A and B are shown apart, each in its own frame.
Chain A
């Protein structure tokens, strides 16, 4: 054994040249946390300006840069890479593989991210400022009317797409080829399933986004008119192309979150997941439907009524598989023997708040009603319920759940629970009132507002500061755990947890499953 079984290299080189899935997963996770803090800082600036009516702190132009960068950094910098990091850590350990299938590409797909976000952040200091057309960057505001930084922005999007596609190909190749003997598809943990489907979505839609920004580049620099009616183009074409990417994108964000929740709820209910098969089918259905609903983001652009009807019906249908998922989670809890450690608390928070986000999503799918909801704060509230209480809460749950396995030390449970309750209260204080102001007529992306919206906005801002501050507690807890947490060595950190990752030593050694584990053919999925 001796010579073959080596540990990590020493120094900076370990991180720069690593091809180890655990190292790369760790880097993804830390990077995404940094981006979470950066995007959160932008959000704090937004909420500080909106604390009361009038322009207090920033110029409207800078405000627009903040809303744009907040969205871009959170979606592309925080949420997506965090789940890629989790996939890197967990997928090989869950399917009994020694590493990812394409370890060198894995290194590359991570290391192109930090310089890209550095470049994106540097646009803040460029002449004309950072991009300010929103994270959806509708043409022609983002083309003909954009500042010079748009070119850098386009380059960043291209590189982020590249990174995502490489990450996805790696996940697909790993899941398809590296499963331990006996680990059939229908025995894979749901987290692996949701990521496999997500990876296909990414490979399908990132090139579409690349196409959209390439057309922008042509319009800005090479005299084409893809998005300008004056030259025979159509600004609405941009929206169609963007949302053909953008709608699957929101499922790219939420499907791995579904996977995480499907691992954690059974563990703390001490009862197998109810309806594993239908969870897999529901995930696949959601993925399929995500390709045929994009124009529900565009009900007000003046589509023909037949188009509106098609997109309305297709969108309403998504409620069916999503409902199946929620019902299955609740039924998994039913007659279990539950305990409520931090990961479980975040999963229950996810379940309640994501379901509320699902309800508002259903409301938004109704085209006639959307004529009132569209582009109002109601939409802002809706997507933060699914993005933050959905994706971010589940990611937080995942970190608390697997951190002890990763570093062989237990986090501080009291601090974890405190983090949950402050987050939960802060989150709801921030976003629940936004439903009200939206319904009462407050448009999104405005730096100043009419007086009747003042009270709820102040409430929202206070909530946002609370939610933001609670993340410092999380950071502290994680660092304290890694540095000085109580050492543990049980293979199974949680008594109800199932799956191959709980059969290896704690902390997880640098190399795992160098020889594939034996999967009991009689044993069901984990």
Chain B
């Protein structure tokens, strides 16, 4: 009997060992397809260790419990002609299996607590980035880097044609953005996470960060990446129609490269300022406007302005009507609908371009142009 029990135990061990080795193999590779990634931060490694310890303990308990159960199922079956025992109630046994798990839990609570306290230590960050969730994109704002804030939106870059299966899907399908967040390596970065509309959640598994973005409140969380690379994540809190289409891409680069990138961004901002004072031709506005439309409007208003979640733009009363009203909707949105206020999301050049584009594309043929200065004046009231 004893010998057989051992063999049965080995049988139960088989699948468990297999499972653990699948996990271990996966952990050796880059990004696992079956297990949590330890990522590129110390905290991530600690979380991963905690996860594996608890998984291990659970597996062991599982082997014992299921081992006893399957032994019993095999040997204590009526078809083997056994007579059932009649024992029941044992205070000693009950106390034992109350107290032993309690101490196992106590053992788990210690590393969990220290890791949690470390995660909550937001002090001494070298860089602050405000992360704002929008339906359905992320805005990043670098606070006071070299005296000037840099901010931009990060939109899904995967084309609609890949999503609707009319084109082959790229390698980073749904996990690619037009402008990634760029962070310096070996730097403690603090994120101030908030949202503009509904609750979102900013999650990058390899940076071991997941924090809800809550409108009207600011959550603090930090990371400290030790390896350069591109890390991808997604919004983790259901936030409406395009919840599955607002990815996060973080480029962790060397400190030098980060410095260069930052100056380039500041340069860009200065150029936009200059552009705002210029007057553009219809063709220039149309070219710029198409790019802006494809990034910001297409998901709701359709590839050809035919509408969808949003109203049709092709032949619409607004796009072929009063220019001031059209501009107003672009800047302030339509309250109570999915049409957001884009005044704070697009700069005046882009706004002028996209409104012009909408009035002169999809068969709309107004022939009029809007200049950045018009947008500026409209915002001023």
Binding site for B on A (CB under 8 A): 53-56, 60-61, 64, 132-134, 138, 140-141, 144-145, 228-230, 234-236, 269-278, 300-302, 305, 308-309, 312-313, 316-317, 319-320, 323-324, 326-327, 330-340, 348, 351-352, 355-356, 359, 362-363, 366-369, 371-372, 374-376, 436-437, 439-441, 443-452, 456
A441 x B233 contact (CB < 8 A): yes
State the Cβ distance, B337 to closest chain A Cβ, in Å: 10
Contacts of A363 in B (CB 8 A): 51, 54-55, 58
B34 x A439 contact (CB < 8 A): yes
B238 x A141 contact (CB < 8 A): yes
A440 x B108 contact (CB < 8 A): no
Contacts of B43 in A (CB 8 A): 368
The answer to the question of B208 belonging to the interface, with a C-beta cut-off of 8 Å to chain A, is yes
State the Cβ distance, B48 to closest chain A Cβ, in Å: 8
Contacts of B50 in A (CB 8 A): 366, 368-369
Contacts of A351 in B (CB 8 A): 69
Residue of A nearest to B71 (CB): A334
- B82-102 residues with Cβ-Cβ distance < 8 A to A are 82-90, 93-94, 97-98, 101-102
A443 x B235 contact (CB < 8 A): yes
Selected contact of A309 from candidates B58, B76, B113, B237, CB within 8 Å: B113
Using A331-B93, A450-B174 as known contacts, say yes or no to A61 and B244 having CB atoms under 8 A apart.
no
Q: What would 12 more interface pairs be, CB under 8 Å, given A305-B120, A337-B83, A451-B173? A: A54-B165, A273-B88, A301-B219, A330-B69, A335-B87, A366-B51, A369-B47, A371-B208, A371-B210, A372-B51, A436-B34, A448-B174
Contacts of B94 in A (CB 8 A): 275, 278, 324
Contacts of A276 in B (CB 8 A): 88-89
Report the contact-size class of chain B (Cβ under 8 Å from the partner). Answer: 35 or more
A368 to B117, CA, bound (A): 9
The answer to the question of B217 belonging to the interface, with a C-beta cut-off of 8 Å to chain A, is yes
Contacts of B6 in A (CB 8 A): none
A316 x B237 contact (CB < 8 A): no
Residue of B nearest to A136 (CB): B238
Contacts of A309 in B (CB 8 A): 113, 116
Contacts of B229 in A (CB 8 A): none
Contacts of B210 in A (CB 8 A): 300, 371-372, 374-375
Contacts of A444 in B (CB 8 A): 238
Contacts of B267 in A (CB 8 A): none
Q: How many A-B residue pairs have CB under 8 A?
A: 282
State the Cβ distance, B141 to closest chain A Cβ, in Å: 19
Residue of B nearest to A376 (CB): B236
Residue of A nearest to B170 (CB): A451
For B308-321 the 0/1 string (1 means CB < 8 A from A) is: 01000000000000
The answer to the question of B112 belonging to the interface, with a C-beta cut-off of 8 Å to chain A, is yes
From B179-187, B195-203, B273-281, the one touching the partner chain is: B195-203
Residue of A nearest to B219 (CB): A302
State the Cβ distance, A301 to closest chain B Cβ, in Å: 5
B234 x A443 contact (CB < 8 A): yes
The answer to the question of B79 belonging to the interface, with a C-beta cut-off of 8 Å to chain A, is yes
From B60-68, B256-264, B290-298, B363-371, the one touching the partner chain is: B60-68
The answer to the question of B230 belonging to the interface, with a C-beta cut-off of 8 Å to chain A, is no
Selected contact of B84 from candidates A269, A317, A356, CB within 8 Å: A269
A54 x B164 contact (CB < 8 A): yes
A511 to B72, CA, bound (A): 40
The answer to the question of B73 belonging to the interface, with a C-beta cut-off of 8 Å to chain A, is yes
The list of the 4 closest CB pairs from A to B, nearest first, reads A229-B216, A446-B244, A302-B219, A359-B58
A271 to B87, CA, bound (A): 8
Contacts of A277 in B (CB 8 A): 89
Using A324-B97, A441-B37 as known contacts, say yes or no to A312 and B173 having CB atoms under 8 A apart.
no
Using A133-B238, A235-B199, A324-B97 as known contacts, say yes or no to A452 and B33 having CB atoms under 8 A apart.
yes
Contacts of A300 in B (CB 8 A): 201, 210-212, 236
Using A274-B89, A336-B84, A337-B84 as known contacts, say yes or no to A302 and B165 having CB atoms under 8 A apart.
no
B62 x A359 contact (CB < 8 A): yes
B241 x A271 contact (CB < 8 A): no
